[in-house]
């Protein structure tokens, strides 16, 4: 279950899913303490079968999006 961030903070949730065809589905949601969405994004990447690398790529993509805000 989702738990809110501290007051006056944002919370970034990131996940990656590795498909059977070696594509990674990446997703991120940035929310306020009341659960309202500030930004969300999804992306698909061609990659290897390394789950840790998929998670790192998901976090990297999410941080780039947040930085651009």
Backbone angles phi, psi at 16, to 5 degrees: -130, 145
Distance, first Cα to last Cα, the chain: 26
Give the whole-angstrom CA distance, residue 66 versus residue 59. Answer: 10
Element (H, E) at 64: helix 51-68
| Strand ranges of the sheet holding 23-31, from the earlier edge strand across to the other edge | 11-18, 23-31, 37-46
pLDDT tens readout for residues 16-58: 888 888 788 999 999 999 999 999 999 998 877 778 888 888 8
The single residue listed with the structure tokens 């501290």 is: 6
pLDDT digits (tens, 9 = 90+) for 1-20: 889 999 999 999 999 888 88
pTM equals 0.80
Annotated domain spans of the chain: 11-68
Dist. CA 31–CA 48, nearest whole Å: 30
């Amino acid at each position: 279950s989702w738990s809110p961030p501290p007051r006056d903070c944002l919370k970034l949730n990131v996940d990656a899913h590795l498909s059977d065809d070696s594509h990674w589905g990446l997703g991120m949601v940035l929310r306020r303490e009341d659960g309202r969405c500030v930004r969300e994004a999804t992306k698909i990447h061609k990659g290897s079968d390394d789950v840790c690398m998929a998670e790192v790529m998901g976090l990297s993509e999410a941080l780039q999006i947040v930085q651009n805000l």
